Amino acid sequence: MAPALCLTRLMLRDFRSWPALTAPFRSRIVLVTGPNGAGKTNLLEAISLLGPGRGLRGARTVEFGRQQGGTPLPWAAAGRFRDAFGTEFDIGTGTPEAGPRPGSPAAEGGRSALERRIFRLDGAPVRSQAVLAERVSAVWLTPQMDRLFQEGAGDRRRFLDRLVWALEPHHAREVAAYDNAMAQRNRLLSQERREGLRIDQAWLAGLEDAMARHGVAVAAARRGLVARLNAAMAGGVTGAFPAARLALTCPVSAALAGAPALAVEDGLRADWAACRGRDAAAGATLTGPHRADLLFTHAPKEIPAALCSTGEQKALLVAVVLAHAALIAHARGFAPLLLLDEVAAHLDAPRREALFAALADLPAQAFLTGTDPGVFAPLRGIAEGFRASPGVLVADTDFPVP
């Protein structure tokens, strides 16, 4: 089955380790192998930046430019896509063309131009990333995510928010608006306590009102996606991979199960108003959806993911990503691009084969990386392969275009 969204060409200039690259893609499954440090992850990151957001590493714009003489260069990444109707469109992103070169006064005096990132759709400026979200979606799995079960709640919360964003592009605006209002509240309370200033209570109330409105929207979106993912995984969409059961620990989300959103907003406003002294002493807002956590359970074994083996944890993440891709395909009419970095690591042979079979059946274009081409032998005749070395990407004759 042909995917409804395909990346048919990737072009890079001075992006990370890639001075220049033009690579055509002609298959549903694209395999990139090569030694560590060859730039494989950088390729996936460039693809992830063709949609909204900060990409699979969450890096700052100034970090994307290839280094020359200790200074990052202006960079660009562009992709040509084909949609379900066979229509092609181009998306580009990068720093402005006028970005400073090493040794120039701008490079020596500041990096403001290199910290700006612009987007173009078919050559025209894009004013909002929401426009990109309507055309392109991508989800990814990276080795860094293997630590998701041992790290703090913030990492799992950001993981969940990225999943929500892929389905509901406005979610990012709600999260940003909530975080901005909370940061202002924290700053005012800190000034009041540290400097003895009397802050206008109406000002604080206005910030708490904004936090309540945006916070409830954030909590509701997270709660809704967790329920949909659990239903998809319980329905067998993950194939041979063990279903994860997700649980959102968040009082705001829990309150939404038994009360209207407006009532939950009122409760948050009252709680924050009553706890200004406590939060001022702590230097932070101690309650709210920013404290939520996402818990994973290995459903067949009824074991928390944190207690599972490394291989089982990777299998649970793969299950969540596959279920999420299926939800996007159903909701938006096209499956997201799947960016799977070193995905075969920690998977035994049966699980690898199950993954390859799932990718072959899913109507999505998938990009896989790895160091050992032999691991991907079952994909011969299915995947198009490339070999990567620093600054060079060549076709892999062992994996010709199907």
Q: CA dihedral in degrees (217, 219, 222, 227; nearest 10)?
A: -110
DSSP string, 286-336: -SSGGG-EEEEEETTTTEEGGGS-HHHHHHHHHHHHHHHHHHHHHHHSSPP
CA-to-CA dists, residue 6 to 2, 87, 90, 336, angstroms: 9, 11, 12, 9
Beta bridge partners of 369: 32
What is the residue whose two structure tokens read 């996936």?
44
Residue 40 is assigned to a ligand binding site: yes
Residue 230 is assigned to a ligand binding site: no
Residue 41 is assigned to a ligand binding site: yes
DSSP string, 126-177: -S-HHHHHTT--EEEE-GGGGGGGTS-HHHHHHHHHHHHHHH-TTHHHHHHH
Residue 39 is assigned to a ligand binding site: yes
- Give first-to-last CA distance, the chain, whole Å: 13
327-351 exposure pattern, b = at least 16 Cβ within 10 A, e = fewer: bbbeebebbbbbbbbbbbbbbeeeb
Residue 314 is assigned to a ligand binding site: no
Structure token digits, residue 61: 């714009």
* 333: alpha, beta or left? (left if phi > 0; alpha if psi -120 to 50): left
Task: Round to whole Å and give the CA distance between 338 and 98.
Answer: 33
What's phi and psi for 281, nearest 5 deg?
-65, -35
DSSP string, 1-14: ---SSEEEEEEEEE
Task: Round to whole Å and give the CA distance between 188 and 180.
Answer: 13
Instruction: Return all residues near 209 (Cβ < 8 A) that are at least 6 apart.
Output: 269
Q: What angle do CA 201, 203, 205 make, to 5 degrees?
A: 70
Annotated binding site for ATP: 34-41
Annotated binding site: 34-41
